[in-house]
């Protein structure tokens, strides 16, 4: 069977995206895992390869299914939408934000059309994206909108540890208000379905508490009693192995020990603080609930080091490997 075709979006041109893309593509393992194709600006990518002293040949193709050839290294769907004369590394520019959104939407279009088997996103800059008029929390919402789904979630992967976020990019006050029975239940069921699809027959899903000591019987807050516990009970009544609410000061330690197949954190920094402490630079993000595979790095555009050829590409390389693995699994399942 053919290798999965994986589209890699270039991200914001003023960040480290182009650099880590070309560094990753220079690793021969990528071509063992998949057929990669980059969605971005060919000239910017060639500049990045030259500045980083990466021996990689890139060639423009019309669509993801067109191969540039083994000797070339990688195909690029070239949108030629970056004004290189105006490009300032490490600076927010609305035009670059708009370009990164375009690559993301194009990746979704190709995936929905069945032209690719997975997507890997290099980082885009949310400030640049919003300056261009795109008021998304991030790329996640762009993909969900393109796919027409409202039931989706981000899962962070660190080795065998999996972490789902109940809420993502919003204020802590807003995140607390979104800890509802319906929302917790939805994420538990979504996580269960995703892991079953990935071959885990009876996944163990832990839900973190919101308050210290899981609320201490209501002394420190009633969210556990009124929202989280009823959601877990409802999921368990439907045969899901949901556990919790587990106090947030111990749930990630237990997850790291392998006690759970998935842990649901209730807000961004509750989860991200834990996994980045455990494996900063190694965390890969994945989306579940979409009709296609998508992974990304666990870091941002790193404007502070952009253009210095100092970026570590190993996180993107791991995101490519995971996308190829998940995309290949889906591809084989369709063929069976």
Compute the chain's Rg from CA coordinates: 20
- Per-residue pLDDT of 229-241, as tens digits, reads 999 999 999 999 9
What is residue 169's predicted lDDT score, i.e. its pLDDT?
A: 81
What is residue 31's predicted lDDT score, i.e. its pLDDT?
A: 92
What is residue 89's predicted lDDT score, i.e. its pLDDT?
A: 97
Burial 138-172 (b: 16+ CB within 10 A, else e): bbbebbbebbeeeebbbbbbbeebbbbbbbbeeee
- Per-residue pLDDT of 239-286, as tens digits, reads 999 999 999 999 999 999 999 999 999 999 999 889 888 888 788 999
Of 10, 9, 17, 8, the residue nearest 89 (C-alpha): 17
Task: Give, rounded to a whole angstrom, the gap between the first and last alpha carbons of the chain.
Answer: 11
Flag whether pLDDT at 199 surpasses 90: no
What is residue 69's predicted lDDT score, i.e. its pLDDT?
A: 52
Q: In what order do the strands lie in the sheet with 153-158?
A: 57-61, 73-78, 35-40, 5-9, 118-121, 294-297, 284-288, 153-158, 161-165, 262-265, 204-208, 241-246
Flag whether pLDDT at 177 surpasses 90: yes
What is residue 334's predicted lDDT score, i.e. its pLDDT?
A: 82
What percentage of the chain has pLDDT greater than the value 90?
82
- Per-residue pLDDT of 64-113, as tens digits, reads 876 655 544 689 999 999 999 999 999 999 999 999 999 999 999 999 99
As a whole number, the mean pLDDT across the chain is 93
Collapsing DSSP to helix, strand or coil, 322 comes out as helix
CA distance 175 to 266: 8
What is residue 63's predicted lDDT score, i.e. its pLDDT?
A: 86
What is residue 95's predicted lDDT score, i.e. its pLDDT?
A: 98
- Per-residue pLDDT of 135-146, as tens digits, reads 998 899 999 999
Flag whether pLDDT at 295 surpasses 70: yes
What is residue 232's predicted lDDT score, i.e. its pLDDT?
A: 98
């Amino acid at each position: 069977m053919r290798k999965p075709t994986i589209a890699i979006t270039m991200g914001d041109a003023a960040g480290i995206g182009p650099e880590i893309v070309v560094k990753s593509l220079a690793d021969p393992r990528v071509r063992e895992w998949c057929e990669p194709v980059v969605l971005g600006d060919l000239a910017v990518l060639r500049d990045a390869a030259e500045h980083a002293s990466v021996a990689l040949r890139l060639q423009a193709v019309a669509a993801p299914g067109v191969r540039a050839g083994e000797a070339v290294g990688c195909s690029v769907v070239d949108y030629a939408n970056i004004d290189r004369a105006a490009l300032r590394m490490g600076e927010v520019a609305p035009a670059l934000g708009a370009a990164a959104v375009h690559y993301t939407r194009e990746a979704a279009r190709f995936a929905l059309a069945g032209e690719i088997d997975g997507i890997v996103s290099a980082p885009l800059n949310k400030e640049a994206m919003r300056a261009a008029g795109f008021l998304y929390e991030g790329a996640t919402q762009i993909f969900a909108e393109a796919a027409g789904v409202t039931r989706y979630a981000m899962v962070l992967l660190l080795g065998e540890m999996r972490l789902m976020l109940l809420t993502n990019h919003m204020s802590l006050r807003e995140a607390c208000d979104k800890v509802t029975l319906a929302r917790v239940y939805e994420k538990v069921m979504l996580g269960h379905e995703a892991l079953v699809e990935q071959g885990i027959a009876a996944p163990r899903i832990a839900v973190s508490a919101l308050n210290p000591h899981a609320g201490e019987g209501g002394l420190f807050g009633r969210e556990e009693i009124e929202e989280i516990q009823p959601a877990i009970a409802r999921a368990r009544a439907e045969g899901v192995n949901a556990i919790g609410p587990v106090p947030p000061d111990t749930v990630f330690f237990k997850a790291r020990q392998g006690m759970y197949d998935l842990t649901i954190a209730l807000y961004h920094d509750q989860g991200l603080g834990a996994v980045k402490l455990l494996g900063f630079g190694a965390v890969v993000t994945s989306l579940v609930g979409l009709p296609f595979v998508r992974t990304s790095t666990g870091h941002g555009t790193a404007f502070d080091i952009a253009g210095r050829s100092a970026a570590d590409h190993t996180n993107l390389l791991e995101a490519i490997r995971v996308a190829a693995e998940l995309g290949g699994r889906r591809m084989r399942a369709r063929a069976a």
